[in-house]
């Protein structure tokens, strides 16, 4: 009997030891996996680091590339396109002006009434229409005829108070957000279509001439006064309300910058010097690249998988199209190597661009004690349920690393422009005011990003210059900005 009892005790003890060992191994496994996740995060954080010294190197590299791009066509990764805008709005413009904004599958027609000195924008109205898919791959004539028909409808429905006086044509600013080679303030030839358009017979043609032909056919008495890029339009919109605006930056799905340059500082400009002595330059800064940019394995892999490998590198680490995708790639590695979402890698996490930047922003801004928003987003988008608070905190840390790097690099880019303009050091008379017109959904809605960008630029400029920098949200450069450029480049400007 005693032997049986002793045997049972021994067996029971052995079983308990085995269970304890299993529990211990499981815990050790979990802690080693968690250590792996933290190691991946630490490595990523180190590779994304943007100390002030590095940002100043990026700014200097931006300035060097700007000089090269202004010296000759193709001399730099920055195109530094001459916009032919040498007359920006002053705020004194008066009258009724129109804008046509063709940026993708939708287009808008706007009417803006300006009240002259101190009058500002008195009235604005717009209509929106989508372009039927068949016209995106049809003929040039069919596309512009459709646009002109919508424009005619908009003009026909307007009240008599908007009719121009006898002998005067209506004037239009045309925002055409496709690659063009601009040849004057109101002419430019299409280099290539993007965004799903493929109309061969428009390539190499002047898009203003195509629109004018279609308007004449519809008997619309209107002339295109300005062919506009949306970033240049943002600069115009900012200048209309503040004469100190000299730089515009768009941070949205993509990113770009424009600024006011001295005409004499543009070696590749061979035309007569404008009366204003100034010229707006559309930088196309999304294509900037430098050995000083802190690129990671995730950025390089995303670039390789993209439709334009090796191009738009700056855009791929700063803009809204890509931030969520960088986050997804880091999470995928953590899921594979550290099992942060369980034994299986969540299938949805393998889908490129499934995690958009607005969702990343919502997670980054989650202030609830249990990070409920993070949990909900992971469940709704990636079908990952029951995440621990520890895992959610890890996700927020990653959001912060990705957004901080992007915002600080964008700030360094702006510093590069300020340096090129010679406004980065105080004058004897005191610091010169620098107003930057900002637009784009990323800047407008991702508060942590925009706050970080603004603080970084102030930090980089130093205490003495800190009070001179002002950020101004200038909304709708592609619409109102285009109408304002039609006004400042009006053929009737002398009559007003």
pLDDT digit string, tens, across residues 28-54: 556 788 999 999 999 999 999 999 999
Q: Which segments within 116-217 are labelled E, that is strand?
A: 121-130, 170-176, 180-184, 187-190
Could you tell me what percent of the chain has a pLDDT over 90?
76
The token pair at 392 is: 């959610």
Give the pLDDT band (50/70/90) at residue 415.
very high
The token pair at 264 is: 């004499």
The answer to whether 240 and 488 have CB atoms below 8 angstroms apart is: no
The predicted-structure confidence for 107-128, as pLDDT tens digits, reads as follows 899 999 999 888 889 999 999 9
Q: Dump the DSSP string for 75-86.
A: SSSS--EE----
Residues with Cβ within 8 Å of 143's Cβ and at least 6 positions away in sequence, in order, are: 131, 135, 136, 199, 202
- Please give the average per-residue pLDDT across 196-203, as a whole number: 90
- Please give the average per-residue pLDDT across 360-382, as a whole number: 97
The residues that bridge with 81 in the sheet, in sequence order, are 282
Give the pLDDT band (50/70/90) at residue 12.
low
Is residue 230 annotated as a catalytic residue, yes or no?
Answer: yes
Q: Cα torsion at 422, 423, 424, 425 (round to 10°)?
A: 100
Rounded Cα–Cα distance for residues 329 and 461 (Å): 34
Give the pLDDT band (50/70/90) at residue 296.
very high
Is residue 392 annotated as a catalytic residue, yes or no?
Answer: no
Q: Which residue is catalytic, options 25, 192, 262, 372?
A: 192
Q: Dump the DSSP string for 300-349.
A: HHHHHHSSSTTS-HHHHHHSHHHHHHHHHHHHHHHHHHH-TT-SSPPGGG
Q: Dump the DSSP string for 98-118.
A: EEEEE-SSEEEEEEEEEESTT
Is residue 83 annotated as a catalytic residue, yes or no?
Answer: no
Question: How much is the mean pLDDT over the chain?
Answer: 91
Positive or negative: CA dihedral 452, 453, 455, 461: positive
In the chain, the domains with their CATH numbers are 53-82+243-474 (3.40.367.20), 84-228 (3.30.420.40)
The predicted-structure confidence for 216-257, as pLDDT tens digits, reads as follows 999 999 999 999 988 999 999 999 989 999 999 999 988 999
Rounded Cα–Cα distance for residues 486 and 482 (Å): 6
The predicted-structure confidence for 272-284, as pLDDT tens digits, reads as follows 889 999 999 999 9
The answer to whether 119 and 181 have CB atoms below 8 angstroms apart is: no
Q: According to the model, what pLDDT value does residue 494 have?
A: 55
Q: Regarding predicted confidence, which is higher, 266 or 91?
A: 266
Q: Which residue is catalytic, options 76, 140, 177, 319?
A: 177
Q: Which residue is catalytic, options 230, 303, 424, 439?
A: 230
């Amino acid at each position: 009997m005693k032997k049986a009892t002793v045997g049972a005790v021994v067996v029971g003890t052995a079983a308990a030891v085995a269970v304890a060992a299993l529990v211990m191994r499981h815990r050790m496994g979990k802690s080693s996996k968690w250590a792996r996740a933290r190691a991946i995060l630490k490595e990523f954080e180190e590779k994304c680091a943007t100390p002030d010294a590095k940002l100043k190197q990026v700014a200097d590299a931006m300035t060097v590339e700007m000089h090269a791009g202004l010296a000759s066509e193709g001399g730099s990764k920055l195109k530094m396109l001459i916009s032919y805008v040498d007359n920006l709005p002053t705020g004194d413009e008066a009258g009724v002006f129109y804008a046509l904004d063709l940026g993708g599958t939708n287009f808008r027609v706007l009417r803006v009434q300006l009240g002259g000195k101190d009058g500002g924008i008195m009235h604005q109205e717009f209509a929106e229409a989508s372009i039927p898919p068949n016209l995106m791959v049809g003929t040039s004539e069919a596309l512009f005829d459709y646009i002109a028909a919508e424009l005619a409808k908009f003009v026909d429905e307007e009240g008599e108070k908007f009719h121009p006086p006898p002998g005067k044509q209506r004037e239009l600013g045309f925002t055409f957000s496709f690659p063009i080679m601009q040849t004057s303030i109101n002419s430019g030839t299409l280099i290539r279509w993007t965004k799903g358009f493929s109309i061969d017979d428009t390539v190499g043609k002047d898009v203003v001439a195509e629109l004018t032909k279609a308007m004449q056919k519809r008997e619309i008495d209107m002339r295109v006064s300005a062919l506009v890029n949306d970033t240049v339009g943002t600069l115009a919109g900012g200048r209309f309300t503040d004469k100190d605006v000299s730089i515009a930056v768009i941070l949205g799905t993509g990113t770009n910058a424009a600024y006011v340059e001295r005409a004499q500082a543009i070696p590749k400009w061979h035309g007569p010097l404008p009366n204003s002595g100034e010229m707006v330059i559309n930088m196309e800064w999304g294509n900037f690249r430098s050995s000083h940019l802190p690129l990671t394995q995730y950025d390089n892999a995303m670039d390789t998988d993209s439709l334009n490998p090796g191009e738009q590198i700056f855009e791929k680490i700063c803009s809204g199209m890509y931030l969520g995708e960088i986050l997804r790639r880091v999470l995928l590695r953590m899921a594979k190597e550290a099992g942060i979402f369980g034994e299986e890698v969540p299938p949805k996490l393998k889908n490129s661009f499934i995690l958009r930047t607005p969702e990343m922003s919502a997670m980054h801004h989650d202030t609830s004690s249990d990070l409920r928003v993070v949990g909900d987003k992971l469940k709704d988008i990636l079908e990952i349920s029951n995440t621990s608070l520890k895992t959610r905190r890890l996700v927020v840390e990653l959001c912060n690393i990705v957004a901080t790097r992007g915002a600080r690099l964008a700030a360094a880019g702006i510093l590069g422009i300020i340096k090129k303009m010679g406004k980065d050091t105080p004058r004897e008379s005191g610091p010169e005011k620098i107003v930057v017109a900002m637009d784009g959904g990323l800047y407008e809605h991702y508060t942590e990003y925009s706050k970080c960008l603004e603080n970084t630029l102030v930090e980089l400029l130093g205490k003495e210059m800190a009070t001179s920098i002002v950020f101004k949200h200038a909304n709708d450069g592609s619409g109102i900005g285009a109408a304002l450029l039609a006004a400042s480049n009006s053929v009737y400007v002398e009559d007003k």
